[in-house]
Each structure stands twice: as structure tokens, then as C-alpha cells.
């Protein structure tokens, strides 16, 4: 392992970067006039910011550590989560996003209230708040603490987690979603460039010989279709789990969808979603390949935590000053992920619970409540973060948790969007499967009472949720006729086709989606 020591120039760069980011956040978010401004950036965001913020929110420092670590440990199969996400974003842009933006909702659970009833909204929102605390917030804190532990190994992990929590929580109190999205974009660009620089520098060690990659990968690890009994990502798991997990992340998870809700119009939302899907494809080269190449530089015994392989390569191959920029962007991106989650969770509580109560609140009072909630959620996530140490890696923790507990939400949302007959009762009672999934997660993944690959467990939970949804729908009354306008149909497609008549191909989202789909297939086939 390299010596994780920052030089004076690195420290100066880091301090300058942090000051610049905080200054930009304060300047961008200096005028907060109400909850829509604070939580939805006033619905003014253009497509490049929407796309990069979508990408950076779900794919920030946490994934930079986790994906490179998975590449080092298991090979390139982890890329399945990324290219599948591209296809899901195509579906989102083509079929689902208009229902969100045209209805002017402030949260995803609000859409469920319109499609089903208020009970579904409350249950969905409460679940999302809990999972974002246990998953996204805690994951960002844990990943940030790992990076800080490299520089200050004598400091306990809990102290690092507390520091990340305080810095990140303080950051989101200032500027709201607009500040977060703009700084997300800046950090995302820096990390994207850094990924290319690190890959180039490491690849040069092997003479830019592509044959070195399959040779260095673990046995059977240079394919996106591992055997069905693979412990990490069996190929059937792409269909039983990876697809449905991506639908949760990109279509159902309010923390991510919130970025699209901030778009200035439907076109910018669609282009932003397609741009985010495009950014998923180079991840194989920018992050996973460096992890694989790291196997030719370090012995596995030299890397006590595989999630640290990417920072190790940064310190090994980047010069002083440049690595300071990358380190600052990495830590700040981790904090930005935390900011995004805290802002989104507070948005859910304020819009789905506080505003729905009988008591009237002013916009100033609601902003104060939202900021107070950020502090509460920050403490909860910090207390949970050390639990992640029981998992083999960050990616394993994220995906296994999601697989067990989110499938009822995916079924309820997709069922409501694409099945006009889906009943109000089914929308609520299917969500009752969530506690069962949470209990199964603790029993299998935390306490080890049974052993089943988490993508197969995801498929089981999806099937169970689907059965409950269909049975209750068929056994209860149809929904009110007004819900038909919230359900996709062929008439929807024909109407949008008429609206697209005469649109140039480079602005036609269907043409762009087709091109992106072909690029995705062309990228994946060589590794099957």
C-alpha cells in the first residue's frame, strides 16, 4: 500500500477546494423563499445539471470506492448494475417521467396518493425516510470515514463518521437542493476526469495492453455473465434482481427522482435522464478496470479493505497537488451524497406529513422544521453507519439491503403506472410486505440464519409482492375513473408522437433513447 501522506501543496489544494465549494453553495442558495425553492430548486434546473446531478447523487464517492473495490475482488460483473441502470433510465425517460412532471408533484409518495390513496403516500414516504437513513446517509458517512482513516489511522472510525456527519449536515442547511445540484455537478466533473486520469496512469504500467485485463481479473471474472452459482452476481440475478433494483433507485427513490422534479420542463427532465444513463456506461473503464488492474500492482493481502483500492491508486500514481484535488472532490462528493439524502428525507417529512396536518404553517416555519429534521436524521444515520463494517463491501451492503426491502415499492409504483385495474387497497396492503423483507434482511444478512444470494432474494421478494398486489387487486373494487389519467396507455404514446412531429432528431428524446440503447447493447456484448 502507498504511504497515504498529503504534502503541503495537497493540503493547500484541499482547503482551497473546500472553501470554493462552500462559497459556491452559499452563493447559489443564498435566496431561499420557500419550500419549493429549498427542496426543488424552484423547478429551474436545465438538463446538463439534472443529468450530472442524477449521476452524482447515486454515483458519488461511495460508488467510486465500492465499484473499484468490487472490480479488484470479483471482476467486472459489478458493471451489470450500471448498464442495466442505463436501460431503466431509458424506460423512465420514455414512459414514466411525464406523469411525474405533468402532475407537478413535490414528492414521489404524493404521486401514490393521487393514484391510490393517502395511506399509500404515508406508508411509502415513511419507508423511504427510514431506508435513506439506514442506507444512503449511513453509507456516505461510512465511505467518507474510510477515506479519512487512510490519512488519520490512529483516529477511531466513530470520530471520522461524526466529522463527516457534521460537515455534511452543516452544508445542506445552507443552500437547499439548488446548491446541492450545482456542487454535485462540479464534483462529478472533477471525479469523472480523475477516473480517466487514474485509469490512464495505471494502464500505462501495463503498456496499454488490453490483454492484461482478462489475465489480471479473478478466474471467471472478466464477464458480465458469471455462473448461476456465483456468490457475488450470478447471471440470472441480472433478471431476478439487478433490473428491479435499478427501477427502485432511478424511478421509485425520491432522493434521486427529486432531481428530475427540479427540471424546468419535461424536455429538460427527459434529456437529463438520458444524459445520466449515458454517464453510466464509461464506469467500466473509469472505475472497474482500475480495480482489476490493481490486482497486478498489489497483492490481495496488501489491501486490507478492497474498497480502498481506488484511493490507493490515486496516491500511488497521481502527482502532488493533483491528488489533493481528487481527494478533496472525493470527500466532498461523499458529503454531497449525505447532503442530498438529508435534503430529500426532510422534503418527504415536510411535504408528506407536516403540510398534510390540520395545523397551518408559514413557509418560514416549514423551512425551520426542515432544517431541524436534517439534524435529527444526521444523528440517526451516524449511529447506524458502523453496522456496514459487517459486510464484505459497500456495494454488497447497498444492494442486499435494497433487494430485501424495496420490491413492494417497485411493484406498487409500476403496477399503478401500467395497470389501470390496480386497486386502491392493493396499493396500500402490498406495502405491508416491507416489514417482512426487513426482517428477512436482518435474519439472513446480519444474523446469518440462512444463506441465499441477495439477487435471488430480491427476485423472491419481487414475486411475493407481485402476488399480493395482483390477488388484492382482483379481490377488491376497481379504482376511481380519474386514476386513468395517471396510467400509461397507447393513447399516451400516440399523443406524444403527434407532439414530436417536426422535432429535430437531436432534440427528439425517442431518437436519443434509441441511440443510447444501441450503444448500451454494443458495449455489453463483448463481455458476455
Dump pLDDT digits (tens) for 175-231: 677 777 887 788 778 878 888 888 999 999 999 999 999 999 998 899 999 999 998
Higher pLDDT, 461 or 444: 461
Do 82 and 281 touch, CB atoms closer than 8 A? yes
The answer, yes or no, to whether residue 31 has pLDDT greater than 70, is no
Higher pLDDT, 354 or 448: 354
Work out the pLDDT band at 238, boundaries 50, 70, 90.
Answer: very high
Range 27-33 average pLDDT: 70
The answer, yes or no, to whether residue 138 has pLDDT greater than 80, is no
Distance CA 437, CA 387 (A): 18
Count CA atoms within 13 Å of residue 367 on its CB side.
18
3-state secondary structure of 263: strand
Give me the sign of the Cα torsion angle 251, 257, 260, 261.
positive
Count CA atoms within 13 Å of residue 514 on its CB side.
6
Do 14 and 327 touch, CB atoms closer than 8 A? yes
Residues 108-134 pLDDT 10s = 899 999 999 999 999 889 888 887 777
What is the DSSP track for 136-181?
Answer: IIHHHHHHHHHHHHHH-TTS-HHHHHHHHHHHHHHHHHHHHHHHHH
The answer, yes or no, to whether residue 338 has pLDDT greater than 80, is no
pLDDT score recorded for residue 515? 96
Residues 154-169 pLDDT 10s = 888 788 888 777 776 6
> Quick one: angle between helices 138-151 and 157-204, nearest 10?
70
Model-wide pTM > 0.85: yes
Residues 255-306 pLDDT 10s = 888 888 888 889 999 999 999 999 999 999 998 999 999 999 988 777 777 8
The answer, yes or no, to whether residue 395 has pLDDT greater than 60, is no
Residue 41 carries which DSSP code?
Answer: G
Domain locations along the chain: 8-527
Residues 463-484 pLDDT 10s = 999 999 999 999 999 998 878 8
Do 236 and 228 touch, CB atoms closer than 8 A? yes
Which option is the CATH number for 8-527: 1.20.1730.10, 1.10.10.10, 1.25.40.10, 2.30.30.180? 1.20.1730.10
CB contact set of 214 (below 8 Å; sequence gap of 6+): 222
Cell numbers placing 102:
405533468
In 249-372, DSSP assigns E strands to none
Work out the pLDDT band at 357, boundaries 50, 70, 90.
Answer: confident
Phi, psi of 502 (to 5 degrees): 85, 0
For 219-233, 340-354, 423-437, which range has the lowest pLDDT when averaged over its residues? 340-354
- The overall average pLDDT reported for the chain is 85
Range 307-320 average pLDDT: 85
Amino acid at each position: 500500500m502507498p504511504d497515504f501522506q498529503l504534502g503541503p501543496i495537497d493540503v493547500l489544494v484541499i482547503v482551497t477546494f473546500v472553501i470554493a465549494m462552500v462559497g459556491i453553495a452559499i452563493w447559489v442558495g443564498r435566496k431561499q423563499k420557500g419550500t419549493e425553492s429549498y427542496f426543488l430548486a424552484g423547478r429551474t434546473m436545465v438538463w446538463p445539471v439534472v443529468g450530472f446531478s442524477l449521476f452524482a447523487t447515486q454515483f458519488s464517492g461511495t460508488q467510486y470506492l465500492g465499484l473499484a473495490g468490487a472490480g479488484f475482488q470479483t471482476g467486472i460483473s459489478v458493471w451489470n448494475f450500471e448498464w442495466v441502470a442505463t436501460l431503466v433510465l431509458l424506460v423512465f425517460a420514455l414512459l414514466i417521467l411525464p406523469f411525474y412532471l405533468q402532475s407537478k408533484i413535490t414528492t414521489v409518495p404524493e404521486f401514490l396518493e393521487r393514484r391510490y390513496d393517502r395511506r399509500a403516500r404515508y406508508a411509502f414516504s415513511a419507508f423511504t425516510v427510514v431506508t435513506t437513513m439506514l442506507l444512503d446517509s449511513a453509507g456516505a458517512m461510512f465511505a467518507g470515514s474510510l477515506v479519512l482513516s487512510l490519512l488519520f489511522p490512529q483516529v477511531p472510525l466513530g470520530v471520522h463518521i461524526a466529522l463527516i456527519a457534521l460537515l455534511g449536515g452543516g452544508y445542506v442547511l445552507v443552500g437547499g437542493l439548488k446548491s446541492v445540484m450545482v456542487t454535485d455537478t462540479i464534483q462529478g466533473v472533477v471525479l469523472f476526469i480523475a477516473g480517466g486520469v487514474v485509469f490512464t496512469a495505471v494502464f500505462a504500467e501495463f503498456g496499454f495492453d488490453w490483454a492484461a485485463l482478462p489475465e489480471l481479473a479473478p478466474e471467471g471474472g472478466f464477464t458480465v455473465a458469471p455462473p448461476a452459482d456465483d456468490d457475488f452476481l450470478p447471471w440470472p440475478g441480472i433478471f431476478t434482481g439487478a433490473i428491479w433494483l435499478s427501477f427502485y433507485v432511478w424511478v421509485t427513490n425520491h432522493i434521486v427522482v427529486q432531481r428530475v422534479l427540479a427540471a424546468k420542463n419535461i424536455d429538460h427532465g427527459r434529456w437529463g435522464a438520458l444524459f445520466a444513463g449515458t454517464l453510466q456506461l464509461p464506469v467500466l473503464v473509469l472505475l472497474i478496470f482500475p480495480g482489476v488492474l490493481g490486482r497486478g500492482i498489489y497483492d490481495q493481502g496488501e489491501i486490507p479493505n478492497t474498497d480502498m483500492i481506488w484511493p490507493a491508486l490515486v496516491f500511488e500514481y497521481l502527482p502532488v497537488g493533483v491528488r489533493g484535488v481528487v481527494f478533496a472532490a472525493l470527500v466532498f462528493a461523499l458529503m454531497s451524497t449525505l447532503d442530498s439524502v438529508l435534503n430529500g428525507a426532510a422534503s418527504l417529512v415536510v411535504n408528506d406529513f407536516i403540510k398534510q396536518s390540520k395545523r397551518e404553517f408559514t413557509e418560514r416555519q416549514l423551512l425551520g422544521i426542515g432544517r431541524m429534521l436534517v439534524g435529527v436524521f444526521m444523528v440517526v444515520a451516524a449511529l447506524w453507519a458502523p453496522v456496514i463494517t459487517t459486510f464484505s463491501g459497500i456495494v454488497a451492503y447497498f444492494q442486499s439491503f435494497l433487494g430485501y426491502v424495496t420490491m413492494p415499492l417497485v411493484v406498487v409504483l409500476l403496477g399503478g403506472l401500467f395497470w389501470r385495474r390496480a386497486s386502491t387497497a392493493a396499493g396500500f396492503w402490498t406495502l405491508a410486505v416491507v416489514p417482512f423483507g426487513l426482517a428477512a434482511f436482518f435474519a439472513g444478512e446480519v444474523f446469518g440464519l440462512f444463506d441465499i444470494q441477495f439477487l435471488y432474494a430480491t427476485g423472491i421478494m419481487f414475486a411475493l409482492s407481485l402476488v399480493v398486489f395482483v390477488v388484492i387487486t382482483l379481490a377488491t373494487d376497481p379504482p376511481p375513473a380519474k386514476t386513468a389519467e395517471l396510467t400509461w396507455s397507447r393513447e399516451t404514446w400516440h399523443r406524444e408522437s403527434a407532439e414530436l412531429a417536426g422535432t429535430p432528431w437531436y432534440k427528439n428524446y425517442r431518437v436519443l433513447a434509441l441511440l443510447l440503447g444501441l450503444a448500451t447493447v454494443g458495449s455489453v456484448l463483448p463481455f458476455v
